[in-house]
Structure 1
Amino acid sequence: MDRIAQLKAFLEDSPNDSFLQHALALEYIKLNDDAAARGVFEALLAREPGYVGSYYHLGRLLERTGERDAAIAAYEKGMSVARAARDMHAYNELQAAYEDLTDE
């Protein structure tokens, strides 16, 4: 069974498991299926906006697909969430990505 099928099977038992959803989106990215990955990230963040790790990957995906303003918004939201959670490691990663994108 491939990883996507395996993750989907796990999600049948735990449909709101954010870790599994995040992992599924990353698998879609590996397959260059940005549309599927984006859908999973957006659904995950709509349900659990505090899942800070997904903002970075969503932002990178949006950058890659040429959606600069949406990527900036994802990084900004992620920085806000990370700051509120006092997750400075995530905050610094998001800030670095944000600055790389906005300093051009």
Structure 2
Amino acid sequence: MDRITKLKDFLQANPRDSFLKHALALEYIKFEDDRTAREIFEEILTQDPGYIGSYYHLAKLLERTGDTNAAIQWYEKGMEAAKKAGDNHAFGELRSAHEELTF
């Protein structure tokens, strides 16, 4: 059984599990299904805005696909969420990626 199928099976039992959804989105990126990955990341951040890791990966996906304005917005939202959560490491990574894109 492939990883996507396994993750979907786990999500059947835990449909709101942000960790599982995040892992699923990363698998879709591996298979170059950016649309599905983006939808999953956006769903995570709508339902669980404190799931900091998804901000970076969503913004990187958007940056890679040429949606620079949306990437900037997600980096900024992620920095705000990381700061609120006291996650200085994530804040630094998001800020660094944001600065690379905006300077």
Which residue pairs with 2:76 in the alignment? 76
TM-score w.r.t. the length of structure 2 is 0.99
Gap runs ≥5 in structure 2: none
Instruction: Give the match for residue 3 of structure 1.
Output: 3
Q: For 1:9-44, what per-residue CA distance to the aligned partner results, in whole angstroms no more than 9, with x for missing partners?
A: 000000000000000000001111100000000011
Q: CA deviation at 1:83?
A: 0.2
Q: Which consecutive segments of 4 or more residues in structure 1 shift more than 4 A?
A: none
- How far off is 1:97 after superposition? 0.4
Paired residues, what number?
103
1: distance between equivalents of 2:54 and 2:93? 12
TM-score in terms of structure 1 length: 0.98
Q: Deviations over 1:68-101 (max 9, x none)?
A: 0000000000000000000000000000000000
Identity over aligned residues, as a percent? 61
